[in-house]
Amino acid sequence: MNISTNISSIQAHQTMMNNNANNVANVNTDRFVPNDTKMSDNGNSVSAHTRKADDNGSLHSQTDLAKEIPDQINIETATSANVTAIKTQDAMLGSLLDIKA
């Protein structure tokens, strides 16, 4: 994994968090249909694909907090792992550049 892959993953998780936050903010909005975000690994990058969730016709918000809250935890964990990987790669590159021939 390289730094650009980690960065694309962080950006994709940020998109997912933005959608997640919007869903949670509208938990009490009547007829609200939440966004559903799926992540995909494209080999050298990670991307987020967002679509409206299936509308079940409810008069109340269709946001499911039992799904949204664990998603937030997963997003936080994935972002933290990617940041740690970037820091490690940066430190390794710095050490490599410090080696004298």
Domain membership of residue 100 (yes or no) is: no
Rounded (10°) angle between helices 65-98 and 3-25 = 160
Q: Which domain holds residue 58?
A: 3-93
Q: How many domains does the chain have?
A: 1
Angle of CA points 2, 77, 53, to nearest 5°: 100
Is 62 inside a domain boundary? yes
Q: Which two tokens stand for residue 101?
A: 């021939």
**Over the stretch 21-40, which tens digit does the pLDDT of each residue have?**
999 999 999 999 999 999 99
**Residue pLDDT, tens place only, 44-91:** 899 999 999 999 999 999 999 999 999 999 999 999 999 999 999 888
Q: Is residue 98 part of a domain?
A: no
CA–CA gap between residue 7 and residue 83 (Å, rounded) = 8
